[in-house]
Amino acid sequence: MKSIAWTKYGPPEVLKLKEIEKPIPKDDEGLIKVIATTVTAGDCEMRRLDFPLYLSFPMRIYIGFFKPKRIRVIGQELAGEIVEVGKDVKSLKVGDQVFGTTGFKFGAYAEYICLPEKSKDMSGPLTHKPTNMSFEEAAAVPTGGLEVLHFLRKGNIKRGEKILINGAGGSIGSFGVQLAKYFGAEVTAVDSAEKLEMLGSIGADHVIDYAQEDFTEKENTYDVIFDVIGKSSFSGSLRSLGENGRYLIANPNLIKIIRALLNGGKGNKKIVTETTIQKTEDLQFLKELIEVGKLKTIIDRKYPMEEIVEAHRYVETGEKIGNVIITP
């Protein structure tokens, strides 16, 4: 089968189209024909092994110290069709249309992948695809959608509250805006100028171009600040929170983690920096929201698997609005 081999840590060119053996499902796994997957900022960081210090060392130990060894194919989310099931699989059958994440198994940049019916050993959740979405639209939901759901719940977002989402125009943030609106919040979305129109179209009440305006220098305060990319000023964001405000940092660097620990318990503001736990019931919740029309996927470009290098180059330009899709 076709796959994208990851041979070295480095630029997009380290990804090479390669024929590998089609996998065989274990007793508790389904064999999925991948119909769509994505290129996210996270995939590019993984390819380069470009992580904050506290993550890059454990990631090297997990993947391979000098070059990728344990993980040979990247790609972390997908939509596709079940073509074979192991003998113990109960909730999936041949022909089912599914979507999900690979978790730490990775490997979605391939024609086929085996995933367990129930997530285990660091694999991610898998469930039936929303009936009203294409495979391309569904493939982009799991990673961003689950991250957003986790953080908004940790932030205990309530109807009528004001939330600011920093880095709102990408894979995670575009689901963040829609989910925050679903929870009844008034949403301010911050990103670069060319993404603001899209952000208004998916429900943002206010938009800010971060190149023109630093939200932390304005008088406005928020109940929740959700920093998807971890680039907001730590003390400025705390200043921009009202009484009992919550500062959610999805991708903090080590300094922010330490500052969050040192600030913990001080005053009435809460700081959340933890890692998302991806749960099947949350993916099913996202599927239900999609099916009642509350959540949609913003797709910027689609590439065939043969053009994976171009797709990675495009995502690295930062111009991507929403999501980039790959079709094997």
Residues of this chain that interact with ligand NAP (CB under 6 A) are: 40-42, 45, 76, 143-144, 166-167, 169-173, 190-192, 195, 210, 228-229, 231, 250-251, 318, 320
CA 137 to CA 139: how far, in whole Å?
Answer: 6
Looking at the Cβ atoms of 22 and 231, the one nearer to ligand NAP is 231
| Shortest distance in whole angstroms from residue 101 CB to ligand NAP | 9
| Shortest distance in whole angstroms from residue 139 CB to ligand NAP | 12
Two tokens, residue 61:
């130990």
Two tokens, residue 168:
């709102």
Looking at the Cβ atoms of 92 and 177, the one nearer to ligand NAP is 177
> 12 φ, ψ to 5°?
-50, -30
> 65 φ, ψ to 5°?
-70, -50
Burial 288-323 (b: 16+ CB within 10 A, else e): ebbeeeebbbbbbbebebebbbebbebbbeeebbbb
- Report the residue closest to ligand NAP, judged by CB: 170
Inter-residue contact 296 to 201 (CB < 8 Å): no
CA 315 to CA 29: how far, in whole Å?
Answer: 32
| Shortest distance in whole angstroms from residue 2 CB to ligand NAP | 22
Inter-residue contact 189 to 208 (CB < 8 Å): yes
Looking at the Cβ atoms of 31 and 179, the one nearer to ligand NAP is 179
Two tokens, residue 178:
């829609």
SS3 readout for 262-286: HHCCCCCCEEECCCCCCCHHHHHHH
3-state secondary structure of 87: coil
